[in-house]
Chain A
Amino acid sequence: MYILCTVLFVIGIYSIIAKRHIIKKIIGMVIIEYSVNLFLILVGYKAGGIAPILAKGQDVAEFASKGVDPLPQALVLTSIVIGLGTLALMAALAIRLYEKYNTFDMSEINRLRG
């Protein structure tokens, strides 16, 4: 699973660097974000884990050994929301860029130099 994380990360970086299409760059960015989210989830993963809520009559020692770590899940939730904000801004900018330049090709959007 950790290998999958790395592969996703590299794919994302590749598509940001090598692709010229704006939308493909945005997708690459989202893939990177999700590879990190996956990594965060894996940090808290436990084989055969149970929900980290102490039910009535549950053995505390068993709960402590089996319950998954809830913190990474909370972090991933936050990070997904932040990712949503970034994605929305990126998409809005892509639309505005298309209005101004009439192209999605980043190599033709190059009025800034120096």
Chain B
Amino acid sequence: MENLALGTIAAPLGSAILILIVTKWWKRFADIWATVVGGFTLIASILLIGSGPIVYRMGGWAPPWGICLVLDPLSEFMLLVVNLLGFFVTVYSLSYMEWYTNKPKFFALFLLMMAGMNGVVLTGDMFNLFVFLEIASLSSYALVGFGVEAEELEASFKYLILGSIASTLILFGVAIIYSVTGSLNMADISVFLKETGNNAAVLLATALFFAGFATKAALVPFHAWLPDAHPSAPAPVSAMLSGVLVKALGVYAMARVFYNVIPVDPIFLKVIMVLGVISMLVGGLLAIGQWDIKRMLAYSTISQIGYIFLGLSLGTALGLVGAIFHLLNHSTYKGLLFLCSGSIEKATGSRDMREFGGLSKKMPVTSIATSIGALSISGIPPFAGFWSKLIIIIACFRAGKTVPGVIAVGVAFITISYYVKLQKYTLFGKLPDKLAKVKESPFAMSSAMIILAVLCLALGLGYPLLNSSILSPAANSLLDTTGWGYITNVLGF
């Protein structure tokens, strides 16, 4: 089991280099191998669920001194989220990336990004977190600019500058924490800070971490890069960025650091709550006015990230379960919607909703998948999105935060309105003459979309099962009120 956990990082990392070497002689190798590795990491992350806390000691050094990988329920959950979407996006891009030149380089960068995200999720060491974060971010900067058109390069440059400032702030925070505690191991830092309490330096580090991770997660005052970067990237990459990258690098890292490592001042939780609510509102309102289909989805991501942060900031078990469940749901349906937008873009050659109409007759699979994704994200009862939003809203009222709860309900209506707009202009109505020859997308793309659409429904129906097996343990590993659960797992006392 320990080696399986390591394999989810090592396999994509090694394959990224292997692909570049082997495809010099054998072109198809990239497709086959990327699918195999994607399947392997998915199966590994499914097998690892419920296998209990595992600590992998790199090079055999015990935790406070060596670097360790920690697999606790929250990591298991995030690993599943990352690799689930990762595999389907790989399958989808088998045929989508035919549009672009040089598919092997795409898969190499893609696998590098997967390795980085798996590493972020698994690591138990602050500096290691920064290194994996940079691996994932650097490859995502390159992937955003993969098409090398003018807009894509511009978006990539913007993303790169903001992303690197965020990474540098995080490194600054790590340096301050090291100078205070003399340790880089998360559990060890936690023990030290619990004994001595916070001082001014730790507060500064907390603020730096907050700014860094919030930029990676695109919380509202730090969101400027997201509406440019996500629409410009190729559709599978947008699906990965919106679906898991902002969550693994932003939400997960912030949750882990603020709940498990640094005993956080309650004022920061308040700040997160206020920013989360603002994100929900601003993202939702801006999404209504968009005509570019992918730009609308990107603003919707900002809005949904706001929901997740609202759930996290409550600090109650119910709120955390809601946030974690919403994270899983958002990764499936936002991934699905971006894949659908990619297949529409590929078929029609445009992203402007005003040029579409009546696509439901020409592209049945895509339109059904889009409808399911849209219904799920706007919170229509049997689908997954409804339950997670309901849990977050109930948790708000239970915790006595009436105003955020009411706003969350209001934003749910805003969400419905812009997805109705998307459906009306894209799928229904009259088919324009120039789109008369539109064809359904090829098998690899449709199959990925179908499976994700089924997952949207299954996650909604299977919530009780999921809650006991995955979600509650993950939430509990964050919300150990004493905070000793994580420490005991790692240091073993």
Residues of A whose CB lies within 8 Å of any CB of B are 13, 16, 22, 25, 29, 32-33, 36, 39-40, 43, 71-72, 75, 78-79, 82, 85-86, 89-90, 93-94, 96-97, 100-101, 109-112, 114
Given A16-B161, A32-B165, A86-B160, 20 more A-B residue pairs with CB atoms under 8 Å apart are A32-B168, A33-B164, A33-B168, A36-B168, A75-B127, A82-B131, A86-B138, A89-B138, A89-B141, A89-B142, A90-B164, A93-B153, A93-B160, A96-B153, A97-B154, A97-B157, A112-B158, A114-B286, A114-B289, A114-B290
Specify which of A16, A78, A86 is in contact with B131 (CB 8 Å cutoff): A78
- Residue-by-residue, is B183-210 near A (CB-CB < 8 Å gives 1, otherwise 0)? 0100000000000000000000000000
Specify which of A40, A78, A90, A111 is in contact with B175 (CB 8 Å cutoff): A40
Distance of A54 Cα from B108 Cα, bound (Å):
42
Distance of A80 Cα from B156 Cα, bound (Å):
22
Main secondary structure of the interface of B (DSSP, over half): helix
Residues of A within 8 A of B160 (CB): 86, 89-90, 93
Distance of A13 Cα from B145 Cα, bound (Å):
24
CB of B168 within 8 A of CB of A100, answer no
B481, CB-defined interface residue at 8 Å: no
CB of B127 within 8 A of CB of A109, answer no
Residues of A within 8 A of B172 (CB): 36, 39
10 pairs, A vs B, C-beta closer than 8 Å: A29-B164, A32-B165, A40-B175, A79-B130, A82-B134, A85-B134, A90-B157, A100-B153, A111-B151, A112-B158
**Nearest chain A CB to B447 CB, angstrom units:** 33
Residues of A within 8 A of B286 (CB): 114
Distance of A32 Cα from B145 Cα, bound (Å):
24
Distance of A72 Cα from B295 Cα, bound (Å):
42
Residues of B within 8 A of A29 (CB): 161, 164-165
B178, CB-defined interface residue at 8 Å: yes
CB of A111 within 8 A of CB of B150, answer yes
Count CB-based A-B contacts (< 8 Å).
87
Specify which of A16, A36, A112, A114 is in contact with B151 (CB 8 Å cutoff): A112
CB of A43 within 8 A of CB of B178, answer yes
Residues of B within 8 A of A101 (CB): 150
Distance of A13 Cα from B165 Cα, bound (Å):
9
Distance of A100 Cα from B175 Cα, bound (Å):
39
Interface range for B: 35 or more
- Quick one: closest B residue to A88, CB to CB? B138
B248, CB-defined interface residue at 8 Å: no
B232, CB-defined interface residue at 8 Å: yes
Residues of B whose CB lies within 8 Å of any CB of A are 127, 130-131, 134, 138, 141-142, 145, 148-151, 153-158, 160-161, 164-165, 168, 171-172, 175, 178-179, 184, 227-228, 232, 286, 289-290, 292, 295
Leading 4 A-B pairs by shortest Cβ distance:
A100-B150, A43-B179, A112-B228, A40-B175
Residues of B within 8 A of A111 (CB): 150-151, 154
Residues of A within 8 A of B145 (CB): 93, 96
- Quick one: closest A residue to B156, CB to CB? A93
Distance of A68 Cα from B3 Cα, bound (Å):
35
Known contacts A36-B168, A86-B138, A94 near B157 by CB under 8 Å: yes
Distance of A75 Cα from B165 Cα, bound (Å):
18
- Quick one: closest A residue to B137, CB to CB? A86
Distance of A97 Cα from B289 Cα, bound (Å):
29
CB of B175 within 8 A of CB of A39, answer yes
- Quick one: closest B residue to A90, CB to CB? B160
CB of B232 within 8 A of CB of A112, answer yes
**Nearest chain A CB to B207 CB, angstrom units:** 14
Specify which of B138, B148, B295 is in contact with A85 (CB 8 Å cutoff): B138
Known contacts A93-B145, A93-B160, A109 near B138 by CB under 8 Å: no
**Nearest chain B CB to A103 CB, angstrom units:** 11
Distance of A85 Cα from B290 Cα, bound (Å):
35
**Nearest chain B CB to A18 CB, angstrom units:** 13
Residues of B within 8 A of A112 (CB): 151, 154-155, 158, 228, 232
- Quick one: closest A residue to B127, CB to CB? A75
Residues of A within 8 A of B142 (CB): 89
**Nearest chain B CB to A75 CB, angstrom units:** 6
